[in-house]
């Protein structure tokens, strides 16, 4: 049943992301989605996980918010590292995530464009 919940939540999250993307000018739509998704992830984390309502995690946290923005999951990872007194690891994780993700997209575009010519 969890996979079905993830799928339903993911579909809803993707549709919401699309609606925000067409409603807000580039690149601010992505910024809005990432910040809003992270904010909602924080609220949901406290409401569900801290209160033993783990059965809602697949639908809301993984599916809905994962489909809306994977940045919310990244933000939650950073929060967990900081809350477990691993600030240096959190900083390294943030730095590596941003730098490596940007490098990966630039390399992928270069490779793809090289094959397309």
Helices (H), 2-117: 2-23, 28-44, 65-68, 71-83, 87-116
Which residue has 């999951």 as its token pair?
A: 73
What are the sequence ranges of the domains in the chain? 2-69
Cα separation, 12 vs 61, in Å, equals: 12
Ranges of residues in the chain whose predicted pLDDT is under 50? none
Q: What is the pLDDT of residue 50?
A: 81
pTM metric for this prediction: 0.77
pLDDT score for 73? 83
Tokens (6 digits) for 37 = 């998704």
Neighbouring C-beta atoms of residue 69, cutoff 10 Å:
24
pLDDT, residue 75, reads 92
Model pLDDT, residue 55? 93
> What pLDDT does residue 22 have?
93
Contact 62, 9 (CB under 8 A): yes
Is 66 assigned a ligand-binding role in the annotation? yes
Per-residue pLDDT tens digits for 53-64: 999 999 999 999
The annotation status of 13 as a binding-site residue, yes or no, is no
């Amino acid at each position: 049943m969890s996979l079905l919940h993830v799928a339903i939540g993911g579909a809803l999250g993707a549709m919401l992301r699309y609606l925000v993307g067409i409603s807000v000018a580039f690149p601010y739509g992505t910024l809005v989605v990432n910040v809003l998704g992270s904010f909602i992830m924080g609220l949901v984390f406290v409401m569900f996980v801290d209160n033993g309502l783990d059965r809602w995690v697949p639908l809301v946290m993984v599916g809905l918010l994962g489909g809306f923005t994977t940045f919310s999951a990244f933000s939650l990872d950073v929060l967990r590292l900081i809350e477990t007194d691993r600030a240096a690891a959190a900083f390294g994780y943030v730095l590596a995530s941003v730098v490596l993700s940007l490098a990966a997209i630039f390399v992928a575009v270069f490779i793809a464009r090289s094959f397309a010519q």
